[in-house]
């Protein structure tokens, strides 16, 4: 006698089970409403945030599904829970794809985020009190590379290198710092640097002082995969990356050991894995791992190479157009997906005003410090722009020039505003600024322009929440 088949069905796309489990819309309409609103916001606005992208429905489908039901502490073939046969296959697939895409002998796909991955590198390589060296946050570096406000800077001694007056990394200063401080780890990688990263030069510095060179390629991983940015695999001992920026995938991270790294320390792979688990993490996020596997699969396709080329072309077009409108760009242009607007020629602290005015018209950006900024990190003088998300929507040169003109018009509208010198007065002043600008008819006209562009390049057309 055949066993009865279950009437319960599950769809990866809908994420619903038919028997007795109500949909989110029915069970939690308040939360469902917020998610629906966010989908509407993404559809109707333009993201120029360099750390954001728009992932495919295939990657969305691989993420946030029944895989989250499974506990799988440990590594494939070495778990602390039973029932992980298919979880092992998924993680092994993600590892295989990471190794192939970036041409490395070892990859760990479990890190929960970029800063977590970078701290796990410290655990693998450093003892408390060791010296680490990275690019200053104000000069475009990342918090996790030793900025004074982070846990890493409290546990390790931090030496920070900077950029020159022209905005390019000061390689000679980095060399002097390395010789003076003899760091265990040297970082090359940034969060707000628009030029190609000098992997070869930093490899020479690290080799000279016996340091590990760690390349944090979070912002340029997709460009490397797409063949439009040099890979650090020949020069670095370890590579870390997030998977959601130019790589256009789920939010997660990867730590990779290179052949050079294993040549320096044959135990490096084991040290990395031990730092991730049990060093800093426990059970894996299996749906995220599946999303990473799907992300890496898409990044290996010829279509992705076309996408990466267009990202860079769009960034160059946007930066050139802004410069032609009289807006200063740090380093005078870009080699990658981002650029930093320097608004000090208007006045220091203008970043927050331009960021908020652009959000009012439907363009999201993020305020950012510029090299030598006299203003505070929360009220900086710059704005960071990126082209990954707009390129994912299909926008090209014509749209970049149109967006540049809209940015120019927005900046012109708010030139009169000035950040109060007294910190206690700033919150009230910004409230008055918002209330006044939002009523401006010119702002409303610019909002209509942005809506027309966004409508022309729809996202997730068939998605119904």
User: CATH number of the domain that 189 lies in?
Assistant: 3.40.640.10
At 465, the pLDDT band (50, 70, 90 cuts) reads: low
Q: How many CB atoms lie within 10 A of CB 106?
A: 20
Give percent above pLDDT 90 in the chain: 90
Same domain, 283 and 332: no
**SS3 (DSSP) at 326:** coil
In the block, residue with structure tokens 């119904």: 464
Give the pair of three-digit tokens for residue 91.
């993680």
Number of domains the chain is built from: 2
pLDDT in tens, 221-278: 999 999 999 999 999 999 999 999 999 999 999 999 999 999 999 999 999 999 999 9
pLDDT grade for 175, boundaries at 50, 70 and 90:
very high
Could you count the other beta carbons within 10 Å of the beta carbon of residue 40? 11
| Residue 462: per-residue pLDDT | 77
Residues 6+ apart with CB under 8 A from 85: none
Residues 398, 318, single domain; the answer is yes
Of 309, 351, 427, 24, the C-alpha closest to 192 is 351
Residues 188, 99, single domain; the answer is yes
31 token code pair: 């939360």
As given in the structure block, the two tokens for residue 256 are 């990779």
Closest CA to 185 of 222, 113, 132: 132
Q: What is the mean pLDDT of residues 209-227?
A: 98
Q: How confident is the model at residue 64 (pLDDT cuts 50, 70, 90)?
A: confident
* Same domain flag for 251 and 199: yes
- Residues 291, 338: one domain? no
Give the mean pLDDT of 283-287.
94
DSSP 261-277: HHHH-TTHHHHHHHIII
Residues 163 and 286 in one domain: yes
pTM: 0.93
Q: What is residue 7's predicted lDDT score, i.e. its pLDDT? A: 38
**Contacts for 154 with CB less than 8 Å, ≥ 6 apart:** none
Q: Is the pLDDT of residue 135 over 50?
A: yes
Do 212 and 95 reside in the same domain of the chain? yes
Residue span of the structural domain in which 407 resides: 303-456
The predicted model gives 334-360 an average pLDDT of: 96
pLDDT of residue 461: 85
pLDDT for the residue numbered 376? 86
Residue 10 has pLDDT above 50, yes or no: no
Residue after which a domain boundary falls, among 258, 273, 299: 299
């Amino acid at each position: 006698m055949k066993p009865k088949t279950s009437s319960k069905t599950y769809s990866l796309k809908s994420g619903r089970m038919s028997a007795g489990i109500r949909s989110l819309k029915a069970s939690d309409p308040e939360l469902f409403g917020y998610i629906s609103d966010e989908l509407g916001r993404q559809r109707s606005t333009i993201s120029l945030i360099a750390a954001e992208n728009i992932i495919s429905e295939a990657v969305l489908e691989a993420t946030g599904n029944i895989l989250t039901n499974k506990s799988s502490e440990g590594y494939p073939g070495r778990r602390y829970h039973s029932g992980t046969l298919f979880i092992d296959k998924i993680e092994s697939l993600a590892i295989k794809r990471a190794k192939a895409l970036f041409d490395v002998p070892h990859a760990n796909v479990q890190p929960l985020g970029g800063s977590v991955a970078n701290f796990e590198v410290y655990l693998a390589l450093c003892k408390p009190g060791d010296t680490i060296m990275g690019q200053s946050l104000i000069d475009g570096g990342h918090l996790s590379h030793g900025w004074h406000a982070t846990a890493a800077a409290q546990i390790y001694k931090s030496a920070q290198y900077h950029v020159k007056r022209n905005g390019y990394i000061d390689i000679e200063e980095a060399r002097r710092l390395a010789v003076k401080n003899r760091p265990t780890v040297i970082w090359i990688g940034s969060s707000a640097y628009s030029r190609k990263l000098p992997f070869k030069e930093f490899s020479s510095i690290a080799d000279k002082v016996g340091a590990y060179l760690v390349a944090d390629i979070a912002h340029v991983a997709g460009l490397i995969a797409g063949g439009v940015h040099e890979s650090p695999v020949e020069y670095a001992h370890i590579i870390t990356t997030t998977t959601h920026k130019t790589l256009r995938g789920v939010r997660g991270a990867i730590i990779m050991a290179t052949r050079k790294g294993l040549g320096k320390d044959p135990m490096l792979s084991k040290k990395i894995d031990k730092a991730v688990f049990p060093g800093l993490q426990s059970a894996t996020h299996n749906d995220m791992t599946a999303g990473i596997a799907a992300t890496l699969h898409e990044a290996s396709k010829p279509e992705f190479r076309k996408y990466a080329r267009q990202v860079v072309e769009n960034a160059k077009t946007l930066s050139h157009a802004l410069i032609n409108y009289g807006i200063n760009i740090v380093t005078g242009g870009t080699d990658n997906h981002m650029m930093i607007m320097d608004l000090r020629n208007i006045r220091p602290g203008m970043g927050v005003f331009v960021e908020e005015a652009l959000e009012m018209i439907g363009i999201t950006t993020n305020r950012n410090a510029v090299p030598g900024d006299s203003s505070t990190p929360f009220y900086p003088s710059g704005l960071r722009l990126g082209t990954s998300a707009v390129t994912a929507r299909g926008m090209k040169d014509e749209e970049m020039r149109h967006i540049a003109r809209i940015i120019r018009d927005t900046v012109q509208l708010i030139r009169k505003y000035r950040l109060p010198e007294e910190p206690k007065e700033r919150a009230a002043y910004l409230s008055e600024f918002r209330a006044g600008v939002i009523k401006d008819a010119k702002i409303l006209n610019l909002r209509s322009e942005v809506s027309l562009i966004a409508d022309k390049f729809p996202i997730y057309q068939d998605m119904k929440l």
